[in-house]
Amino acid sequence: MASIALKSFIGLRQTTSENKSIVLTKPNTLTYHKIRINASKTSPRVNGRNLKVAVVGGGPAGGAAAETLAKGGIETILFERKLDNCKPCGGAIPLCMVGEFDLPLDIIDRRVTKMKMISPSNVAVDIGQTLKPHEYIGMVRREVLDAYLRDRAATAGATVINGLFLKMDLPKSTGSSYVLHYSDYNAKTGGAGEKKTVEVDAVIGADGANSRVAKNINAGEYEYAIAFQERIKISDDKMKYYENLAEMYVGDDVSPDFYGWVFPKCDHVAVGTGTVTHKGDIKKLQIATRLRARDKIEGGKIIRVEAHPIPEHPRPRRVLDRVALVGDAAGYVTKCSGEGIYFAAKSGRMCAEAIVEGSENGKRMVDESDLRKYLEKWDKIYWPTYKVLDVLQKVFYRSNPAREAFVEMCADEYVQKMTFDSYLYKRVVPGNPLDDLKLAVNTIGSLVRANALRREMEKLSV
Ligand SMILES: Cc1cc2nc3c(=O)[nH]c(=O)nc-3n(C[C@H](O)[C@H](O)[C@H](O)COP(=O)(O)OP(=O)(O)OC[C@H]3O[C@@H](n4cnc5c(N)ncnc54)[C@H](O)[C@@H]3O)c2cc1C
């Protein structure tokens, strides 16, 4: 969520998929292939059946992928190891996801219209004043959202298997099948699951940060943050304060490189923090986050404790032959904000669309060139966002004075408008050049003050 206050500041004008004018330079974390393979047009027909695709993982990425495949005429199998999985997650989603994925409003616990950004010295800046009456950040419980998307995939025709994917055998010759090995919990044998195999033409790895599909194709590793979260049940009185309000805390105490949060849920709040650089200190950082919010959550009961890795950047390899990675398995969480739900669902859908298109609605075999179309489209639209948030994290999360400057900037109405637009809609509308200039001057002012303050603090600590 911290991302929202920053994109406009450095003048980034993110494009929508319709706007083709964006120029990309080669990102160093992504694998780019110069050779374009043009095989899909001549790829063989699949006779007597439709193309068969396995989606491994039933989170937002897998659910969205499976639904799109099934609707597009592909024989789809969706594997989820735990159908009541409660993914550790803040559950904040942008408004555009509600519309783009046609989400019913009753799966959204809270509509957040106010956000407090709280600096290391506890200066709180209210953001959200620029929101229009219909605009909000959605707060969902993942067990609800994920189940909803999976059920919709099943309604569209996907076969959902309650199974743990174990490994797959890669094809021995061009066009031959992938053999997936899994434990089937549908046919439970004393809780252990029955070992089974299934043959498919292509595989989408949507199995999250610890992806086994990624390991199977030697996709390589990524740096990751560890995020820790406690769900805390607080009194109805205290809950009123968080009714439509989320809080973000920045400071060395809560995280040296990320932020702490209090997000409202249906009948509790989710309090958490994350770090890449100080993973061993995560519990200490969590205690500090709780301490910062103590007046507002006092007397609360911890009802659930959860932790999970958050990828920091895309994997070195995201497509190999007829296997593609999406969502966290691919590494699509934005730095600085830790936002990944929308990007997971979006990448799942985009990858599935490439398969539907390449296979002419399941009538032809696909190959790597079809899957690469998803990658090309993805990188073209989203790579600038990831890069900018990477830079901003380095600028603003590096010290407490820089964080004070960051919070100060968030008070600017223009920053709020531009950044809410970019977060809620995943696009930035053209800004006003005069306001852009004023913002740049204010930002430089904030950073100069931050640096001056840091120098004074360094002198004091000598
Ligand atoms: C503490 C925390 C807070 C966060 N807060 C936010 C937030 O507020 N907003 C936001 O946008 N993002 C947030 N994120 C990031 C977000 O949770 C992820 O980016 C998102 O869940 C990625 O979705 P996915 O479908 O790719 O993977 P996942 O949600 O991880 O789903 C993977 C699915 O695959 C299943 N699976 C895994 N392995 C197998 C296997 N071998 N066989 C079968 N099934 C398998 C899992 O059970 C799971 O259901 C947060 C992350 C953390 C850790």
**CA–CA gap between residue 250 and residue 257 (Å, rounded):** 9
What is residue 5's predicted lDDT score, i.e. its pLDDT?
Answer: 34
Whether 59 lines ligand 1, by a CB cut-off of 6 Å, is: yes
> Cα 422 vs. chain centroid, distance in angstroms?
15
What are the domain boundaries of the chain?
2-12+398-461, 45-89+142-222+315-389, 224-311
Assigned CATH topology for domain 45-89+142-222+315-389? FAD/NAD(P)-binding domain (3.50.50)
Question: Residue 86 corresponds to which tokens in the numbers above?
Answer: 């409660």
Q: Same fold for the domain at 45-89+142-222+315-389 and the one at 224-311?
A: no
Q: Angle, to 10 degrees, between the axis of helix 341-358 and the axis of helix 60-71?
A: 30
Beta-strand relationship, 255-264 and 245-251: antiparallel
- Nearest atom in ligand 1 to the alpha carbon of residue 91 is 8
Beta-strand relationship, 75-80 and 52-56: parallel
What is the 328 CA–ligand 1 centroid distance (Å)? 7
Pocket test for ligand 1, best of 78, 168, 310, 423 (most atoms within 8 A of CB): 310
- Nearest atom in ligand 1 to the alpha carbon of residue 182 is 42
Q: Tokens 């600017």 label which residue? A: 412
* Helix (H), strand (E) at residue 259: strand 255-264
Q: Which phi and psi (to 5°) does residue 368 adopt? A: -60, -35
- Nearest atom in ligand 1 to the alpha carbon of residue 274 is 1
What is residue 453's predicted lDDT score, i.e. its pLDDT?
Answer: 53
Q: Are 315 and 222 in contact (CB under 8 A)?
A: yes
The DSSP bridge partners found for residue 306 are 229
Residues of the chain falling short of pLDDT 50: 1-40, 462
Closest by Cα among 403, 455, 335, 418 to 13 = 418
Handedness of CA 446, 447, 448, 451 (dihedral sign): positive
What is the 37 CA–ligand 1 centroid distance (Å)? 32
Whether 311 lines ligand 1, by a CB cut-off of 6 Å, is: no
DSSP secondary structure string for all residues of 91-140: -EE-HHHHHHTT--GGG--EEE-EEEEE-TT--EEEE-TT--TT--EEE-
Question: Residue 32 corresponds to which tokens in the numbers above?
Answer: 């780019």
- The C-alpha angle 231, 236, 238, rounded to 5 degrees, equals 75
Question: Residue 379 corresponds to which tokens in the numbers above?
Answer: 């990188």
CATH 3.40.50.970 at 224-311, yes or no:
no
Whether 331 lines ligand 1, by a CB cut-off of 6 Å, is: no
- Largest Cα separation within the chain, whole Å, is 78
- Nearest atom in ligand 1 to the alpha carbon of residue 212 is 41
What is residue 394's predicted lDDT score, i.e. its pLDDT?
Answer: 80
The DSSP bridge partners found for residue 181 are 167, 197
- Nearest atom in ligand 1 to the alpha carbon of residue 345 is 25
Pocket test for ligand 1, best of 4, 77, 87, 336 (most atoms within 8 A of CB): 87
The edge-to-edge listing of strands for the beta sheet with 194-200 is 194-200, 178-184, 159-169, 75-80, 52-56, 202-205, 323-325, 319-320
